[in-house]
Amino acid sequence: MQLKDKVAIITGAGSGFGKATSELFAEEGAKVVVVDYNLESAEKTVKEIQDAGGEAIAVQGDVSQVEDVQNFIQKAIDTYGQIDVLFNNAGIYAPGNAEEVSLEDFNKSIEVNVNGVFYASKFAIPYLKKTKGCIISTASAGGIIGFPGAVAYGTTKGAVISMMKAIAVDYAIDGVRANAICPGTGVTGMTSALLEDDAIREGFLAPIPMKRLGQPDDIAKAALFLASDQASYITGHALPVDGGWTMS
């Protein structure tokens, strides 16, 4: 088991990438703090983990709210006594180019996708220094290359990549690693309805050399690698998990 006796906090863990990662981490021996805006979704993830013999707790949390973030960090400490892995996975997508996207949606994207990652990282770092743990944050291929009609998403995910690099530099001396995962187009709760349209699906597949869409397990396996001792010399990296999209 690659994460035996480790404690992992995973945000956005009620569905998609976060759910798959929570289940895989638990399978690999981690005790998982399952955080989601929707408590019912978090509880469903926890039940599946427990039914499979794993250990997890559910916590409701809006990562854009400082008090919620402090609460789930403290809940992890009160329940398990330590934090070894923080996976900042919660995020939102607001479509539109610079003229189309509303100021409200742009600012909300910053609050969730950027501020939420910063808040959780800030309050987890003192505990991660004690365990020589790591931070993993979900960015996006859209934070590396531009893609149309997604100025808010691209802006915020680019910021996540830069934030992980800055944290990696600042805390390497303390043994804390920080990396970003950059998914391409994946099949998740946010995209599944959209991808039912064959024309849209083909449009997303066109620039992907491997000619398949990403699955939640693809991201979960990348997160497991970055969280494990196998990645002990990797920090400040933005790892594309995109079927070759950014390469092409």
C-alpha 75/C-alpha 70 separation (Å) is 8
The residues pairing with 238 across neighbouring beta strands, listed in sequence order, are 180
As a whole number of Å, the end-to-end CA separation of the chain is: 35
For residue 204 the two structure tokens come to: 């997303």
Are residues 36 and 11 in contact, defined by beta-carbon separation less than 8 angstroms? yes
β partners of residue 11: 35
What residues are annotated to the active site? 153
